[in-house]
Chains A and B, each alone.
Chain A
Amino acid sequence: MVDVAVVGAGQTKYGNHPLGLKGMWAEAASKAFSSVDGDFEPTSIDEAFIGTIAFGGAQLGNTAALLTEHSGMDGIPVRRVENACASSGFALRDAWMAIKSGQADVVVAGGIEKMNDLTPERKRYWLGVSGDTEWERLAGLTFPGTYALMARRYFHEFNADHDDLVHVSVKNHLHGSMNPAAHIQKEVSFEKAAGGFMVADPLTLYDCCPTSDGASCVVLAADHVARKLTDTPVWVNGSGAASDHLALHDRPSITQLKATQIASSRAYSMAGLTASGIDLAEVHDCFTIAEVLATEDLGFAKRGDGGVFAREREGQLNQGSTTVNASGGLKSKGHPLGATGTGQVVEVFKQLRGEVESGRQVRDAQTALTHNVGGSGATCAVHVFGRDRS
């Protein structure tokens, strides 16, 4: 079966972007196309998958068609992919499958969200649309509340405390301070992060990712095309995805995400790797507790040791065997919902090709993983990448 490589990747800076949907997408696509080493024309693209929640509802229908006409992709099949915050992680998987199936040679996967042009009331509504409305939302829960329930239970089950989460925040702000594409490019002290405004007890402001504008775009190619476009492709060696109960109360445990465990198991198996073989991971830290859980569910730490992994800064740049969220993660780089999944791939693409800023480069990075979660874990897509084909 054909192998698939990332041959180009680009994104806007995350944060408060001056442009709207069309402009942001055009900017991300342009950067992705120009990052392709060889001669590349958007007319060579066979198909496109664009992840977005369509936050704010400004272009809820036919989003992909509206955007692609501003990036030179005329007439090809396109569609919007929606799986909450994992939308573009699944767009990537769909693009990968389109090439794997033999139906396409060059496919674009991307994502976009415009979040900061809304009133607080409208923003609050859209931030909650991916939760379980009928039972969780009616119990007053938003996603900070949902993850706060997970955090408190985690503290209880594993003798952890809020300081463990603070270490995640400090680390990711450190990484983000070096990333020119990050929404929040500044370090935060332990004391400041520990004493932030309480959003959903026990989670403070510094445990929560910001709401960001942003777009990201990656170009995938079948191996026989990739070879013509670049000498340094980044191979998609594993793809796994899974789903779980939408509501926390239907899950056997609220201190682990089954969808992450299943998706990563499938991706590792396909790539012929285990967690110990991953040099850098971009994980879905929408809240700091989410990174703690992810390090366990992805196998970087043993069950119950995610807090220790954070406390000992094992995920800090070039400190342990796996650097976690070298980009700053969602916490610092930002979280433009639909753009986040393929935004993680942009980081991995640059890291594996040695193209990030010198202070942020993971040494000798050969393998990488992206982990993109929808909502509180109802959906998850995990991809494993390598400089070499597995």
Chain B
Amino acid sequence: MTAEVWMGYLVDHQSDFTVVQSPFVLDSVRVFGADSDATTLAVAGVLHRLQHDFIESISVPDGMDGASLSSATHVVLHDIEAEGEASWEVLMSDEATVVVARRGASVELQKLDVEIEVDRKFHTAMMDAWARELSNAHVSQGAYISRAQYEEAAQSRLSMQGQVIRSTVSWPPRFSHLVDGDQPPLHQLQRAGAIQSWTTLSAAGAPSEFALRAPLLGGISTVFLQLDDGPRGVFLTVDDEDSTFTMDARMELVFRRLYAQEGFVRYGLKARAIHI
């Protein structure tokens, strides 16, 4: 069946569930893209579902980063020690596929017709790099932020939650309210903007957090975006192998892996050309 492309993934929306699949295949088996995992697919699935349904709470399987998913979507993560069950759940399959389903829904997976063959050597090297990054022994610190720092700014980093300060939308968060005493109202920014500048760093020049993967990617690209709500920001790009950046080109922000360190993944939003 023909799939909808949503945040770089394939989506099959049904009344009680949403299937999210990676568009990439290797030997006819779906595999994750370079910066994706089950959590990034689940976030895309929940954000898609939220266009149609209110999700009161959600449960996620072991191995998925539920806290980051909750920060990125504002959906409450079900407390496993609480009574009752979540109204929605995330299900995970072996083949780079997740399902966001109403609890008890009967899920039927359809074969989606978009398949992008990945280079075996590239894919293997990239997955190996992620595995090495995730090992506890990997503690390179070129772009280090601690788990506490990651969690403190998670709502801003993962869902573009901003503030309104003196009638102006501000992002990332500022803390001047701790001085002047006025808690600024929150503002949910749209996940889109236009390119104001860009660069591609050579593999040798990338921060050491990206040092394992940058050579495989031929360097890493960063765009400076004028966000639609006013603030500006810098973002790594994703799915940009065939892209040529231009001034004022439109980009959307999608949830992806940034890097792994000390055994856990730092997620963030990456910029993706809207026309792709």
Contacts and interface: CB of A to CB of B under 8 A. Distances in A.
Contacts of A270: none
Interface of B: 140-145, 149, 153, 172, 196-202, 204-211, 220-222, 224, 231-236, 247, 258, 266, 268
A149 B205 contact: no
A202 B153 CA distance: 32
Nearest to B206: A140
Contacts of A145: 199, 201, 205, 222
Interface stretch (A94-102, A120-128, A377-385): A120-128
Contact of A140 (B145, B220, B266): B220
Interface in A189-214: 197-203
Given A133-B144, A138-B258, A141-B222, A152 B199 contact: yes
A248 B234 contact: yes
Interface in A62-110: none
Contacts of A138: 143, 145, 258, 266, 268
Contact of B208 (A124, A197, A201): A124
Contacts of B220: 140
B224 A153 contact: yes
Contacts of A11: none
A197 B201 CA distance: 11
Most chain-A CB neighbours within 10 Å: which of B205, B206, B209, B268?
Answer: B205
Given A145-B222, A249-B231, A124 B197 contact: no
B197 A254 contact: yes
Nearest to A136: B234
Contact of B140 (A125, A198, A248): A125
Interface in A6-57: none
A128 B207 contact: yes
A254 B268 contact: no
Given A133-B144, A134-B145, A198 B202 contact: yes
Contact of B142 (A125, A153, A199, A247): A125
A141 B201 CA distance: 8
A128 B198 CA distance: 19
Contacts of B208: 121, 124-125
A247 B232 CA distance: 10
B199 A201 contact: yes
A152 B198 contact: yes
Nearest to A137: B143
B71 to A, nearest CB: 15
B207 A124 contact: yes
A158 interface: no
B236 A249 contact: no
B205 to A, nearest CB: 5
A141 B202 contact: no
Contacts of A1: none
A207 B265 CA distance: 34
A140 B224 contact: no
A144 interface: yes
A219 B148 CA distance: 45
A148 interface: yes
A249 B201 contact: no
Contacts of B142: 124-125, 128, 137
Contacts of A199: 201-202, 205
Contacts of A152: 197-199
Contacts of A254: 196-197, 224
Given A138-B145, A139-B222, A254-B224, A121 B197 contact: no
B262 to A, nearest CB: 15
Contacts of A198: 200, 202
Given A128-B207, A133-B143, A140 B201 contact: yes
A288 interface: no
A305 to B, nearest CB: 20
Nearest to A204: B202
A140 B144 contact: no
A179 B127 CA distance: 50
Interface string A232-258: 000000000000000111000010000
Nearest to A125: B142
Contact of B205 (A135, A142, A202): A142
Nearest to B144: A133
A324 to B, nearest CB: 25
A128 B144 CA distance: 10
13 contacts: A124-B207, A124-B208, A125-B208, A133-B145, A134-B149, A135-B233, A140-B207, A142-B207, A145-B222, A149-B198, A152-B198, A200-B201, A200-B205
Most chain-A CB neighbours within 10 Å: which of B172, B197, B208?
Answer: B197
